[in-house]
Structure 1
Amino acid sequence: MKLIDLIAGRLRRIRTLPVTGGVKAAVQPIRGRPVKPVAGPKPTSAAIPLGLPQRALIDRRDMDAGVDWKANEWRPIAYFKVPQGTLYRLPEGEPVRLYLKSQATAADVDNSGGASAVTATVNTPGIVQTKMRAVTLPSINHPEVVAWATVGGARQKVPVQAIDYAAETVTLSVPAGESWTDIAVYYVHGDGEFRIRAQRELGNADTAAALLMDGAFGAIHTVSQIDEEEAPTWPRLTTLIQSNRLVLEVRTGIRIDWNDEAEHVFQLEAYVLQVAVQDKAALRRLAEIEWRGGL
């Protein structure tokens, strides 16, 4: 019996709630599509549904930081862990939003005694221009590039003055009377690959994982992620049960840190169902069989 039987026959009565999460106004919102109801037999005894599925959005704010980036090695930089007593379904064909930013740093700039602004140029190797709506520069709300610095002892977002995609540089401006330290620029790039995997824990730090989606940054970062013809979509129906992890892994030669400053864009449409688990072992086996396409 398939794990989808947990909620089969009930999606015809589904009610949707407003999507939670979101991104800055400069980034276009994700475009949802109705999910086709699935008919089938009564729920399996492995788990009992409690109520009806509700619309959800797995967003970067729902993700925990993974391990540190390491050049040109697959590294799980972030993951979403399914809460106890819940089941998540990611419908096939729903749009995927994914813009991951690399990090570049610059030397400290002391302009505390200056009479005019000082320009700081930051090298941003691999920077690419996306099809997101850009904003007029200078701005702190550019969707592709964000900059941070410690100013007067406080961490703050600072304006991006200019972006030169050909020269692969970003220009900042340090006002007269200010001293900036720990300058960091986060930008959308085209170097390397990503993959998203489903993972379950086996105990003793062992895990079992199945590949769900992968691609190149150069491809996904340069297509329109809101255009129906170009937008990447979730490849297949995926069910995640309690304690499963949805893991985001990257392999790139350019540093990626999973932190709030970067303002990564990661959005997956989902439905969440509260369940009472009756047989944990059977539920785990059914979930893994589904990830592997029934094998």
Structure 2
Amino acid sequence: MRKSLYRLTLRQMQVFQAVCRSLSYSRAAEEMSLTQSAVSQQIRQLEELVGQGLFEYVGKKLYMTEAADSLLQASGDIFARLDSLDMSLTTLQGSLQGELRLAVVSSIQYLTPHLLAEFRQRFPQVSFRLEVTRRSQVIQRLQDNQDDIVLMGLVPEDRALEFFPFLNNAIIAVAAPSHPLTNQPSLALAELETQCVLQREPGSGTRKACDDFFVQRRVHLQHTMQMGSGESMVQGAAAGLGIALVSEHSAAAFLRNGDLVRLDFTELPLYRSWCAVHARGKRMSPVAEAFLAYLREERASIKRIAARFTVKG
């Protein structure tokens, strides 16, 4: 390794990361409470040590070079290892401290904070960074190593991932109280062929689970309307746009207050599993290891939390 890289400082890499985030020397200076000239000087020193330019202007816009891309990935690895070291040292002192970086698909966003709250009761010095997004973006975040753990339903089989299921995910049919199928018992799935059905976007785990289920049951939906999130699905159903097939966790509040009713289809709920996922071979921080252990070992407690999101009828 070139000896000049040994002279890199953590402060230089912090300033460099700030410039990468904003692609602006002035905004990076504000973020770091530095002058713009101080930021420019730090970047120049970094470029001398790396031996290549890190940023270039095209027109009036700042762009990262290939060298900057490589340095950004390396600096992220270095700071992640330092975070892990800090957590390991505090664990040795008898208390678990640090930040858990968690990403979840939107369908489990209502349940997740309750899981984190119980986990934090056990480890009060732990903090969280929670990102809620759609399945395709969660998969990209896994590839980019942006999080410690991901919670999702349908784990892709073509990726180098480790995962385990920790909770049932019941997909149910809901509609507005004024819907004509409300209060009708023992509905056949074929009834959906004559109704407007709200669907998630292609790539959604809920959408794929439902599509596969309908293919198996030879149900051919004739009238559909696409929604971009679980929230828009339940809101759309409550507004009377049609029937939504959604995670029970995401619809619970609407069912309790009467904005939605659960339709009595004999072949529903459709059960899938929520899974905890991370990249295979990923070095886990003590906080991430503790959270995985919580999901594996505290099934009864997690089921009690999930019961708050279950509405009968």
Name the TM-score, length of structure 1 as normaliser: 0.25
Structure number with higher relative contact order (C-alpha < 8 Å, ≥ 6 residues apart): 1
Please identify which structure carries the higher strand content.
Answer: 1
